[in-house]
Amino acid sequence: MINALCGLPGARHALDPTPRDTPEWQRWLRNGGQATLASYARKQDLIRDVEWLMTQSKRWFVRDRWLYSHATRPHPTQQPITEAQRTATGADLLLWDRPTSSSNLYELREELIGSVHGHTPRAQPERLLGPDRKPAWFMDLGKHARDIAIHHSVTGPHVLTAPPLVQDTRAQSRPAALRLGASLSTLFKQRST
């Protein structure tokens, strides 16, 4: 989304949600961008969310000895990727890679016990074992549009799912995953107060 709206790393420009004929824009539209744009009632909400993503989002993070990443596991020696690294490689595997088997997964650092990933749609959450025999949970339910979570307890992880509690009738033409319409920055502001 950021590449489509603000240009490629190393050639960023002012945020512009006006459609353009660039490969990044077209790829983004094909991969959910059209639905994303339709989910915003106001252009200012989109601009605020993209600005938040550019300044606050992380490609991956560690919490309670679990690694959480949008797409795949980072290399064990990799620190959070910088803009210069994205520019040099031309791709951000942590955002785009889709492991098809455990052979595509890097080993986790020794102190980590597992990882959780999105970006690889599945009908149900799927557990793979990496080459280090540590679990990698793939949680993106894609079009299935259900809220899910993994609860980690002493007895191991348990997958929890729930259907949406409230249907937003203002946006029947939008995909179910986008009907809530609340902006990311609004949600984060509510949580921090």
pLDDT along the chain (193 residues), means of 10: 63 61 77 82 82 76 83 66 53 62 73 83 79 85 59 61 54 40 37 40
Domain residues for the domain of 18 are: 1-57+167-193
53 and 63 fall within a common domain = no
Which tokens sit at 50?
Answer: 């993209």
Pull the structure tokens for residue 176: 């179910």
Residues 96 and 111 in one domain: yes
Shared domain for 133 and 77, answered yes or no, is: yes
Based on the domain organization, do 138 and 127 belong to the same domain?
yes
- 49 with 133, same domain: the answer is no
Question: For residue 184, what pLDDT is reported?
Answer: 36
Please tell me the distance from the alpha carbon of residue 190 to that of residue 61, in angstroms, as a whole number.
Answer: 22
Domain tally, the chain: 2
Same structural domain, 51 and 38: yes
pLDDT at 191: 39
What per-residue confidence (pLDDT) applies to 101? Answer: 57
Q: According to the model, what pLDDT value does residue 108 have? A: 85
Residues 23 and 64 grouped into a single domain: no
Res 16: pLDDT? 62
Say whether both 176 and 154 belong to one domain.
no
Return d(Cα 138, Cα 114) in angstroms, integer: 11
Residue 111 and residue 154 share a domain: yes
Contacts of 70 (CB under 8 A, 6+ apart): 59, 60, 94, 95, 117, 118, 119
